[in-house]
Amino acid sequence: MVPPQLTSQDITKLIARVALKDRAAFDLLYRATSAKLFGVCLRVLSDRTDAEEALQEVFVKIWTKADRFVVSELSPISWLVAIARNHAIDRLRARGQRTATIDEASEVADARPGPEAQAIADGERDRLGACLEELDAERAAAVRGAYLNGDSYAELAEQFSVPLNTMRTWLRRSLMKLKECLER
């Protein structure tokens, strides 16, 4: 069966229903997003079997943590991709490996984009880069560390010699500024 094409709002509603342990919503969410999330896992792990196992574990996390999405400020697909990417990175760390580069870890291994899609993606990457440059240098480095390198908040707090709660505040405020910048 071909996975349904759902809007961001549809995915948000499905996640809310999954938080209420609605199995039908979970099935629909899986069919709509599993290919993309598998691509994330495969890109990070570079092993099909490992990526398949990781995907199963990712959906277990989604089932158990769906209630946490409701209070987040992320788009639903960004939230799902973050879970998949972070889980795959955790699997690499458990094996004693790290991703080769930020670009490799953040790319999604779906079908290769056509020229138009690549041009759009390049433009979005440039916009994000420009918005990151508007942040204080330390805040931008912390955002890159947390969301592109997969560094934990504790690691970043130690790296920047600030308390853990300060790092959380930096990241939350930086993400809000990035969101504002990207919406302009």
Q: Each residue's pLDDT tens digit in the chain (184 positions)?
A: 445 577 888 888 888 899 888 999 999 999 999 999 999 999 999 889 999 999 999 999 999 988 877 555 668 888 899 899 999 999 888 877 554 444 455 454 444 455 665 566 566 777 878 888 899 999 988 888 877 777 788 888 999 999 989 998 998 898 888 888 877 7
Q: Say if residue 117 is in the same domain as residue 105.
A: no
Q: Say if residue 100 is in the same domain as residue 9.
A: yes
Q: Say if residue 39 is in the same domain as residue 118.
A: no
CATH number of the structural domain spanning residue 135: 1.10.10.10
Q: Say if residue 104 is in the same domain as residue 123.
A: no
Residues of the domain holding 141: 112-184
Tell me, what amino acid is at 157? A
DSSP string of 45-108, one letter each residue: H--HHHHHHHHHHHHHHHHHHHHHHTT--S-HHHHHHHHHHHHHHHHHHHHT---S-HHHHH--
Query: Residue 81 in contact with residue 37, Cβ under 8 Å?
Result: yes
Q: Which of 83, 110, 137 is the last residue of a domain?
A: 110
Q: Say if residue 85 is in the same domain as residue 54.
A: yes
Number of domains the chain contains: 2
